[in-house]
Structure 1
């Protein structure tokens, strides 16, 4: 393992809590930058009128689908690469794995793009988009899709950087990309001097250009900091062997990620039967929830390289201490968040709407759901822990249990007996129960790994 890479294999050293906090703080900046990215597009497109904004809403499922696939494969890459770095050997295998990941994800992205473009009209007519809305959808989605290969490669490069233990670089790159997108949006949408006004199409061009610049910088910094990029090491004969471990973790993670928006769609369908006001409240709540869970999200991203490197180095006890710290921190932090959301719920509702029924619906959500964020966060941590240990089916099972076994049935029962508040209550109970189930999964897997290490030490 060369010196550049070894410098980044630092997750096996130092106090576990300090390492995880050091990784998570810059990552929080990156996650918040992604929220800012989406907010900028929505804010400026809204100024074009309701039709372009509606078109942007119709595009969301297709854009989120690709992002979730990228995140899943990126999780697989982070898991395998961080383990190889922790082992401090097989550098050629490490470089071949990285090269194979770039090739596979590029081909997958292009296949998705051309499939969607071919069926574009049919997809949105099926979803119920009007003819005049489809015009705006095509104007935005065509350049977005054609440029999405840059997003795919940027997300993979960021995942590889995190696998080396560097969370600061990808976070700062995403922050700069978010700021760049916000600056380019008004120029491309409304025009500026020699730049013509492009309307909703300009929002897509601004986004793609931001991705492109960010990807070039990320690729340059990855090579400069780690020296891991070597596409000459790629061998067609070993491609399937190199990509198989990544897909073993990445594909189940990607497929389980896709369940989240699907489950949310089912709950939206339930609420629509009770009235649009509840759908509106649920929509606002879905934008608030990621912000309330941002600490959990960054910790889950930090857990994968932390577990991977320490597993590769044989430091199972260190992993156990890191996970216990993460559980305690998330439970305490999210308890405070839930209390603050409960106390400030009237103020939060006033910020988003002046409509009284909508405010009352949102307040009901804020009373019932945030109490589950702590144990829901534990479930998210255990999912990352299992992915890092290359147990993707168990990780996917936790998500399936939460969404399909608990959330959808409990929401169905809730709406039958309590109306719309029953959906919120069902979602809350599902979060609590999934956290308890996840803790059982964690207990059995960490016990198994400790026994394996003891046997290895004795022999």
Structure 2
């Protein structure tokens, strides 16, 4: 399990490096641009998540067929996943580009945020959606290889992609020589170009090397039987990811009621938290593969042992991290914000408070990610959906609404807030964000002990494909 997990953690670290690079360089460029990516990312993720669930479905099926020693079926599923998700990505890119301004217009922004931040968010989103189809190749490649049990190859591809991004990001943001200063659009172009490189490398590896499942070009031709399996497993996961994205959009609609320093602190704190949660995400995805392959091989007891080990490791590691972060939040925030730009100190102060409060949830996010990974690996994607909804909408969104705002909004005198009275303002927002994973982690773990997740999803071959023969 740890051999599977460490490359996933490294890959996720590299994945976050994209966001960290944008956050760092835009934090040196302009706090309004930093706030803009805080608004843009949830809306982008909302559309990406619609296709991402089907990528996860491909990973689940490949894992179980690999465990059942059916490499041809795993290859057929991989090809169908790639072609199906690519078509979805093209459609989502078109929809996202056309609806960018409409999506941002829905956010009930505070006036200063509306004038200074929203136009920058639109610039970032439009470039991103134009290039989104070039990014999905790597998402599919990484998920399929993870299901197969090869997590090192995607890590190496991601390393090459991130290296390109780190080099060209500041060049395009600030401009060098004949290259003009593109600001936030430069950050978007750098991300799309470098991720596109990862997609090209990933597709090449799947079809023209011996790594991963045995995928043939003929496997790209639509096979309704396999597509039904992908859809059946993928829809709950797509709904889960979409619900997560919509929760982020809802929270974004709430945070923009505050002034730009609070919005920027929210985005900065989320980026830092996403970096800290990498061990949990890695162990959760390794658990997905371990459970899938062991159930495919008929070894439910070993699958359960893997879950217990991963949950203990993830919670333990993040508990140690939580103590350190709680004690020293200021250096984390200060590392990303140029103290000489406008509102820098206010952004740092709000970010430090946000990070310290969220430290209380760290161990619980480890528990939640591992248990959700177990449900997905078993093909119980509806169960994973249910507990994600509990964590996001009951534990987080509802709690933020109650704690952060008054029943009646009143313009007050607290710096950088628009609400006073009984509401806790930004601090209530931070507390609500932390409670979501605490509630979700406890609920998902208690349900897991019932043991109803232990049946494999697959039979012997993809539905609609020949069982035997070439198997």
- Structure-2-length-normalised TM-score: 0.80
Give yes or no for contact 1:307–1:385 (8 Å, CA) kept in 2. Answer: yes
Give the 5 Å matches for 1:166-185. 166-185=150-169
> Could you tell me how far apart the structure 2 residues matched to 1:275 and 1:53 are?
13
Q: CA deviation at 1:370?
A: 1.5
Give yes or no for contact 2:80–2:219 (8 Å, CA) kept in 1. Answer: no
Corresponding residue of 1:419: 424
Give the 5 Å matches for 1:241-320. 241-270=225-254, 278-320=262-304
> Could you tell me how far apart the structure 2 residues matched to 1:275 and 1:49 are?
15
Q: CA deviation at 1:351?
A: 4.4
What whole-Å deviation, never above 9, does each CA across 1:313-366 have from its counterpart, x for those lacking one? 111111111111111112211211111112223444554567666555445434
In the superposition, relative to structure 1, how do residues 215 and 366 fare at CA in structure 2: closer, same or farther (>3 Å)?
closer
Give yes or no for contact 2:24–2:336 (8 Å, CA) kept in 1. Answer: no
Q: CA deviation at 1:418?
A: 5.8
Corresponding residue of 2:361: 372
> Could you tell me how far apart the structure 2 residues matched to 1:88 and 1:131 are?
58
In the superposition, relative to structure 1, how do residues 51 and 107 fare at CA in structure 2: closer, same or farther (>3 Å)?
same
Corresponding residue of 2:80: 100
What whole-Å deviation, never above 9, does each CA across 1:41-94 have from its counterpart, x for those lacking one? 3444566656766655554234323443343222111101110111112x4433
Give yes or no for contact 2:277–2:362 (8 Å, CA) kept in 1. Answer: yes
Give yes or no for contact 1:140–1:204 (8 Å, CA) kept in 2. Answer: yes
Q: Does 1:332 align with 2:313?
A: no
Give the 5 Å matches for 1:5-404. 20-44=1-25, 56-89=37-70, 91-127=71-107, 140-188=124-172, 196-197=179-180, 199-200=182-183, 201-223=185-207, 224=209, 225-226=211-212, 228-236=214-222, 239-270=223-254, 278-351=262-335, 361-404=350-393
Give the 5 Å matches for 1:423-442. 423-442=429-448
Give yes or no for contact 2:264–2:347 (8 Å, CA) kept in 1. Answer: yes
Q: CA deviation at 1:308?
A: 1.0
> Could you tell me how far apart the structure 1 residues matched to 2:252 and 2:220 are?
46
> Could you tell me how far apart the structure 1 residues matched to 2:382 and 2:196 are?
34
Q: CA deviation at 1:169?
A: 0.9
> Could you tell me how far apart the structure 1 residues matched to 2:444 and 2:151 are?
26
In the superposition, relative to structure 1, how do residues 426 and 92 fare at CA in structure 2: closer, same or farther (>3 Å)?
same
Give yes or no for contact 1:28–1:171 (8 Å, CA) kept in 2. Answer: no
Give yes or no for contact 2:23–2:268 (8 Å, CA) kept in 1. Answer: no
Corresponding residue of 2:396: 407
In the superposition, relative to structure 1, how do residues 272 and 24 fare at CA in structure 2: closer, same or farther (>3 Å)?
same
> Could you tell me how far apart the structure 1 residues matched to 2:354 and 2:176 are?
43
In the superposition, relative to structure 1, how do residues 245 and 180 fare at CA in structure 2: closer, same or farther (>3 Å)?
same
Q: CA deviation at 1:283?
A: 3.0
- Report the secondary structure of 1:445's partner residue: coil
Q: Which stretch has the larger CA shift, 97-106 or 64-73?
A: 64-73
Give yes or no for contact 2:43–2:245 (8 Å, CA) kept in 1. Answer: no
Give yes or no for contact 1:29–1:172 (8 Å, CA) kept in 2. Answer: no
> Could you tell me how far apart the structure 1 residues matched to 2:96 and 2:299 are?
45
Q: How many residues align?
A: 427
Give yes or no for contact 2:48–2:92 (8 Å, CA) kept in 1. Answer: no
Give yes or no for contact 2:284–2:310 (8 Å, CA) kept in 1. Answer: no
- Structure-1-length-normalised TM-score: 0.81
> Could you tell me how far apart the structure 2 residues matched to 1:435 and 1:227 are?
33
- C-alpha RMSD of matched pairs (Å): 3.2
Q: CA deviation at 1:196?
A: 4.2
> Could you tell me how far apart the structure 1 residues matched to 2:258 and 2:33 are?
27
Give yes or no for contact 2:255–2:263 (8 Å, CA) kept in 1. Answer: yes
Give yes or no for contact 2:375–2:453 (8 Å, CA) kept in 1. Answer: no
> Could you tell me how far apart the structure 2 residues matched to 1:418 and 1:185 are?
40
> Could you tell me how far apart the structure 2 residues matched to 1:32 and 1:135 are?
30
In the superposition, relative to structure 1, how do residues 205 and 273 fare at CA in structure 2: closer, same or farther (>3 Å)?
closer
Give yes or no for contact 1:248–1:390 (8 Å, CA) kept in 2. Answer: no
Corresponding residue of 1:443: 449
> Could you tell me how far apart the structure 1 residues matched to 2:32 and 2:445 are?
46
Q: CA deviation at 1:247?
A: 2.2
Q: CA deviation at 1:181?
A: 1.3
